């Protein structure tokens, strides 16, 4: 069982016992922090692995691709070719939000090395970029249906603190929102650069399946077991 708390900036699901780690999980474009909260019980972790899940709400901002409509977004999208014309200013601002969330968890007693950054779609972009740039070693990075913009050049600026951090890449082969080749290429570039990547591909569109949820659960359990969390 989890205890749910909400603020204007995020919701949190905390285990009944002391948390051994935290997962900061970012939603996709136009959603909010409530989007992935229902998945937590499906991970079936509460008995074996008590984690706190933090689901932040992205800022409200106009999104060019949606005719300037104001919605929750981690950064602006200016074109259907989502890997082009990257909103570097917006991405940087969202990375600072994530860094603040990490610090909040540390202040609450969770060691940095027990914190996972996760995200779906736009949130996956931020999770990858924030995690690879973070100056201290994290427990892991999880990117679902996302990609790493300009991966080759970005990795030259990545912080070596997370050069061996486990990374889970999940993507649907039938995804046309964030096209599957972008996710596959992200995994390939990370592997080529000797990152510790687990890549899983599914016969789904731009969504998360039960099979993927089960893979995430196994990956998290393995992650914390290897880090001697339990």
Contact in structure between 201 and 184 (CB atoms under 8 Å): yes
DSSP run (H or E) holding 140: strand 140-144
3-state secondary structure of 190: helix
Q: Could you give the CA distance from residue 72 to residue 78 in angstroms, rounded to a whole number?
A: 15
Contact in structure between 186 and 151 (CB atoms under 8 Å): yes
Would residue 92 show up in a list of annotated catalytic residues for this protein?
no
Q: Which residues, in sequence order, are bridge partners of residue 25?
A: 118
CA distances from residue 4 to 8, 17, 162, 204 in whole angstroms, order as listed: 14, 14, 30, 30
Q: Where are the beta strands (DSSP E) in the chain?
A: 2-6, 10-15, 21-26, 51-56, 60-63, 69-72, 115-120, 140-144, 167-172, 197-202
Q: Could you give the CA distance from residue 33 to residue 12 in angstroms, rounded to a whole number?
A: 9
Would residue 35 show up in a list of annotated catalytic residues for this protein?
no
Which of 121, 203, 215, 217 is an active site residue? 121
Would residue 175 show up in a list of annotated catalytic residues for this protein?
yes
Which of 27, 57, 83, 206 is an active site residue? 206
Q: Which residues, in sequence order, are bridge partners of residue 6?
A: 11
Contacts of 207 (CB under 8 A, 6+ apart): 145, 172
3-state secondary structure of 72: strand
Catalytic residue positions?
A: 121, 175, 206
């Amino acid at each position: 069982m989890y205890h749910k708390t909400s603020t204007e900036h995020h919701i949190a699901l905390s285990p009944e016992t002391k948390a051994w780690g935290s997962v900061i999980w970012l939603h996709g474009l136009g959603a909010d922090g409530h989007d992935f909260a229902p998945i937590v019980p499906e991970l079936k972790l509460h008995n074996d692995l008590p984690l706190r899940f933090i689901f932040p709400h992205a800022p409200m901002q106009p999104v060019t691709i949606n005719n300037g409509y104001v919605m929750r977004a981690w950064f602006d999208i200016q074109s259907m070719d989502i890997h082009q014309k990257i909103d570097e200013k917006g991405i940087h601002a969202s990375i600072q939000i994530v860094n603040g969330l990490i610090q909040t968890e540390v202040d609450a007693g969770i060691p940095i090395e027990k914190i996972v950054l996760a995200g779906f779609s736009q949130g996956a972009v931020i999770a990858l970029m924030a995690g690879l740039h973070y100056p201290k070693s994290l427990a892991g990075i999880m990117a679902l249906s996302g990609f790493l913009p300009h991966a080759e050049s970005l990795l030259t600026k990545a912080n070596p603190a997370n050069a061996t951090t486990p990374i889970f890449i999940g993507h649907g082969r039938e995804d046309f929102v964030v096209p599957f080749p972008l996710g596959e290429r992200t995994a390939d570039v990370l592997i080529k650069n000797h990152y510790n990547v687990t890549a899983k591909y599914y016969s789904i569109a731009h969504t998360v399946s039960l099979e993927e949820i089960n893979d995430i659960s196994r990956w998290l359990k393995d992650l914390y077991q290897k880090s001697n969390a339990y």
